[in-house]
């Protein structure tokens, strides 16, 4: 299964929008994606095991610091997202917002993942720009 994951990730890495690709290991990769106006967004994809041995693809792109004043806005934004959702990450003693996506690898079509990948990169960058006015990449 990890070979299928890596094959799909390599196809995405070959697209024009991807500026950089880093394979951490057989189950974790990072992309730097061109999002326009000299901006880019880092998207992480990870393959993990869910219940009963099911392989799950998780994708994530950090948006910015989790300011409590933005909680309602971030929840409202979830209604307009097609594939992904905004989540609250609690890592490294700093809470951050991130755009996340998860799907079973076995049921995943490469074209579907490419659409979700694009949404994560472009939507995360747009939300970051609107809420924080900086490119946190």
Q: Which domains does the chain have, with CATH numbers?
A: 2-132 (3.30.1460.10)
- Enter the tokens of residue 111: 């074209």
pLDDT cut 90: percent of the chain above it: 43
- pTM assigned to the model: 0.86
Phi/psi zone of residue 38: left (φ > 0), alpha (ψ -120 to 50 degrees), beta? left
* pLDDT tens readout for residues 18-63: 889 999 988 999 999 988 888 899 999 999 987 788 899 999 999 9
Region at 29 (left for phi over 0; alpha for psi -120 to 50; beta for the rest): beta
When comparing pLDDT for 2 and 84, which is higher? 84
Specify the pLDDT at position 37: 84
How high is the pLDDT of residue 99?
A: 95
pLDDT score of 132 more than 90? no
H-helix or E-strand spanning residue 128 = helix 110-132
Report the pLDDT averaged over residues 71-75.
93
Tell me the pLDDT band of 135, cut-offs 50, 70 and 90: low
| Distant-in-sequence, close-in-space partners of 25: CB < 8 Å, separation ≥ 6 | none
pLDDT at 108: 80
With a CB cutoff of 8 Å and minimum separation 6, the contacts of 86 are 63, 74, 75, 77, 78, 97, 98, 99, 100, 127
């Amino acid at each position: 299964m990890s070979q299928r994951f890596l094959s799909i990730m390599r196809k995405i890495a070959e697209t024009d929008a991807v500026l950089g690709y880093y394979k951490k290991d057989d189950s974790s990769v990072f992309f730097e994606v061109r999002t326009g106006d000299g901006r880019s967004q880092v998207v992480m994809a990870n393959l993990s095991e869910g219940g009963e041995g099911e392989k799950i693809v998780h994708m994530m792109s950090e948006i910015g610091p989790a300011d409590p004043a933005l909680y309602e806005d971030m929840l409202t934004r979830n209604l307009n997202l097609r594939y992904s959702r905004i989540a609250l990450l609690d890592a490294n003693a700093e809470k951050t917002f991130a755009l996340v996506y998860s799907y079973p690898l076995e049921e995943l079509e490469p074209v579907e993942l490419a659409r979700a990948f694009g949404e994560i990169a472009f939507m995360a960058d747009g939300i970051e720009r609107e809420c924080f006015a900086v490119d946190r990449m």
